[in-house]
Amino acid sequence: MIEAAGQARPIYRLAAIPGDGVGPEVLAAGRSVLQASAAAFGFELEWTELTVGGAGIDAHGLAIRPEDVQACAAADAVYLGAVGGPKWDDPTSPVRPEQALFALRGDLGLFANLRPVTIHPGLTAASPLRPELLHGVDLLIVRELTGGLYFGARTEASGPAGSRSASDTLPYSDAEISRVVRLAFELARGRRHKLTSVDKANVLATSRLWRRVAVEVGSDFPDVELNHQLVDSCAMQLVKGPAAFDVLVTENLFGDILSDEASVLAGSLGMLPSASLGSRRTAHGLHGLYEPIHGSAPDIAGRDLANPIGAILSGAMLLRWSLGQADAAAAIERAVAVALDDGFRSADLWPGDGLPTAGLNRVGTAGMTRAIVDRIAIRRAAPETVAARDR
Ligand code: IPM
Ligand code: MG
């Protein structure tokens, strides 16, 4: 970015939550890529690091403290690695790392979770699906994030074995449905104008309400084709014909399940980013939380094995949605694509047995991050090189 001499560089304030397992490694990777893009595009990032998740339980006895939520609310955006791990897995414990996610999602009003699935052409060998099925796949799952079973009233099992029962409830109001469906329509309008609303309307009352509301909101979007699909059938279509989908919108638990399924299309769960957005605007964009969709992967933590791309692409989403830095976001996405074009592969992206590996370069978390950072620097240098040559 070319700036007039003396013009102040914008400064953005970000909250960083490294979390547990591979979270700290992938978040450090993402932060170094964001720093490189800040240097290239002329803005500054100020970080506040928070100890949250299992790490928060160890440090403070709580997955997240009210002051941590407040620090996240005060930041322009929140950047998160992953939380959770076997150390804190006791189902009877009153404190669990995942409580941090629910507190952030609920208290910050982050009702929409965007999970884009695109496929780099060089990675089709890493997916168990046939390459011809993957051709043209470019879909966006919009998952409702602050309602349904995750936030409904529940009763834990109690009493003697043999007479225990437990319950979870799945409530939705029309206001909760319409705000996320409206956002999905708006996103579809910026893409291929197709929206699939996923429900279980043949069984669930909330799904029947979801369908009615989707149709009502749809009357404001005559240019977007709305389809309804039952979640079981959608799960099948996602692997039988994924290229047919554009934007999908669905309730919390269906979206959780379908997005893990869809990640298989991209070759690895490690590739996929996410943005969790609400309706609150800051001076720069929508307030939001950004995290890779993979979990804390404790089995590979601390071994330089984790694929940082999901975290890095989440950083690109952060720039686009929360900071209004669309060019810097696109530069990161391009740098990731070029690093993959140039053959860099983390362990999860390495082709299966017997498939060709000529021209590929196996790297760890740090090596992949360096490859991507280097490719941002190249983009930055390019215009100067041209200018120097022309002079
Ligand atoms: C996700 C995760 C979380 C969820 C877990 C860790 C509670 O699976 O973000 O998809 O179910 O929402
Ligand atoms: Mg999940």
- Each residue's pLDDT, cut to its tens digit, for the chain (391 residues) gives 444 555 789 999 999 999 999 999 999 999 999 999 999 999 999 999 999 999 999 999 999 999 999 999 999 999 999 999 999 999 889 999 999 999 999 999 999 999 999 999 999 888 889 999 999 999 999 999 999 999 999 999 989 999 999 999 999 999 999 999 999 999 999 999 999 999 999 999 999 999 999 999 999 999 999 999 999 999 999 999 999 999 999 999 999 999 999 998 998 999 999 999 999 999 999 999 999 999 999 999 999 999 999 999 999 999 999 999 999 999 999 999 999 999 999 999 998 888 889 999 999 999 999 999 999 965 544 444 434 333 3
Evaluate: CB of 103 within 6 angstroms of ligand 1. Answer: no
Sequence-ordered list of residues with C-beta below 8 angstroms from that of 164, at least 6 positions apart, any chain: 157, 158
What homologous superfamily is domain 1-113+270-391 in, according to CATH?
Isopropylmalate Dehydrogenase (3.40.718.10)
* DSSP 8-state secondary structure symbol assigned to residue 373: H
CA of 356 to the centre of ligand 2 (A): 32
Region at 156 (left for phi over 0; alpha for psi -120 to 50; beta for the rest): beta
User: Which residues are known catalytic residues?
Assistant: 150, 200, 232, 256, 260
| Same fold? 1-113+270-391, 128-154+164-266 | yes
pTM exceeds 0.75 for this model: yes
DSSP element (H, E) containing 197: strand 194-199
Q: Compute the distance between CA of residue 276 and CA of residue 295 in angstroms, rounded to an integer.
A: 16
User: Which residue among 142, 256, 257, 259 is best mutated to probe the pocket of ligand 1, counting the most ligand atoms within 8 A of its Cβ?
Assistant: 256
Evaluate: CB of 199 within 6 angstroms of ligand 1. Answer: no
Q: Report pLDDT for 6.
A: 59
Token couple for 362: 């196996």
Q: Which amino acid residue places its CA nearest to atom 9 of ligand 1? A: 293
Shortest-distance atom of ligand 1 to CA 259: 10
Token couple for 60: 């403070």
What homologous superfamily is domain 128-154+164-266 in, according to CATH?
Isopropylmalate Dehydrogenase (3.40.718.10)
| 34, amino acid identity | L
Q: What is the dihedral of CA 170, 171, 172, 173, to 10 degrees?
A: 170
Evaluate: CB of 249 within 6 angstroms of ligand 1. Answer: no
Q: Report pLDDT for 5.
A: 54
Q: Which amino acid residue places its CA nearest to atom 6 of ligand 1? A: 98
Count the Cβ atoms, other than its own, within 10 Å of residue 382.
10
Evaluate: CB of 20 within 6 angstroms of ligand 1. Answer: no
Evaluate: CB of 98 within 6 angstroms of ligand 1. Answer: yes
CA of 138 to the centre of ligand 2 (A): 20
DSSP element (H, E) containing 258: helix 252-263
Sequence-ordered list of residues with C-beta below 8 angstroms from that of 203, at least 6 positions apart, any chain: none
Residue ranges of domains in the chain: 1-113+270-391, 128-154+164-266
Q: Which amino acid residue places its CA nearest to atom 5 of ligand 1? A: 98
Q: Compute the distance between CA of residue 18 and CA of residue 291 in angstroms, rounded to an integer.
A: 10
Question: Sheet of 275-281: strands edge to edge?
Answer: 44-49, 11-19, 77-82, 286-290, 275-281, 112-118, 138-144, 247-250, 194-199, 225-230
Structure-token match 């579809």, residue found? 188
